[in-house]
């Protein structure tokens, strides 16, 4: 079942909930409450980054409460793209959490704004920022393998 792919609506519902929480973080601004909420979102992204979006509390919520009320999915999706998106979200939010603690509380809404934009672009337009960045990593590795002398 898992190798067959996942219900593509699950990550989308999860991304919607996450986007809503990130919008609240932006609204709360440079406050301890915003930082706490960003920690919660970051932990969710961390779980999704390691075990896939289905393992997050948003994913569980979807399977437990939403999926039973919907028709079975007409197509299933490869779990790797949404998991990669979780990893991108995790890195952005983790930077916000760490900088919020060590440097300035102003970093919290800024990181939330960047993650929110990435989530919105992915959900509304299918633009995966991580996918656009992925090729840079591949090109760097190609350069290393050619200059490193095989």
Residues near another protein, by CB under 8 A: 23, 26-29, 77-78, 80-82, 84, 109, 113, 116-117, 120-121, 124-128, 130-132, 134-135, 138-139, 141-143, 145-146
For another protein, the closer of residues 94 and 115 by Cβ is 115
| DSSP codes joined into one string, 66-80 | IGGGSPPPSS-B-SH
Q: How many residues does the chain have?
A: 150
Q: What dihedral do alpha carbons 82, 83, 85, 90 form, nearest 10°?
A: 150
Residue 111 in contact with residue 96, Cβ under 8 Å? Answer: yes
Q: How far apart are CB 115 and another protein at their closest, in Å? A: 10
For another protein, the closer of residues 95 and 120 by Cβ is 120
For another protein, the closer of residues 64 and 75 by Cβ is 75
For another protein, the closer of residues 65 and 140 by Cβ is 140
Q: How far apart are CB 7 and another protein at their closest, in Å? A: 14
Q: How far apart are CB 104 and another protein at their closest, in Å? A: 15
Q: How far apart are CB 16 and another protein at their closest, in Å? A: 14
Rounded alpha-carbon distances, angstroms, from residue 104 to 34, 93, 123, 128:
13, 14, 30, 29
Q: What dihedral do alpha carbons 45, 48, 51, 52 form, nearest 10°?
A: -160
């Amino acid at each position: 079942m898992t190798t067959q792919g996942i219900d593509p609506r699950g990550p989308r519902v999860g991304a919607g909930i996450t986007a809503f929480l990130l919008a609240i973080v932006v609204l709360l601004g440079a406050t301890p409450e915003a930082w706490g909420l960003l920690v919660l979102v970051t932990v969710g992204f961390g779980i999704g980054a390691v075990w896939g979006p289905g393992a997050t509390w948003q994913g569980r919520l979807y399977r437990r409460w939403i999926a039973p009320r919907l028709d079975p999915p007409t197509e299933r999706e490869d779990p790797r793209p949404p998991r990669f998106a979780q990893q991108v979200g995790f890195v952005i939010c983790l930077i916000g959490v760490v900088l919020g603690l060590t440097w300035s509380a102003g970093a919290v809404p800024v990181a939330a704004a960047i993650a929110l934009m990435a989530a919105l672009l992915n959900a509304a337009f299918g633009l995966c920022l991580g996918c656009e960045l992925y090729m840079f990593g591949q090109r760097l590795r190609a350069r290393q393998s050619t200059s490193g002398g095989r």
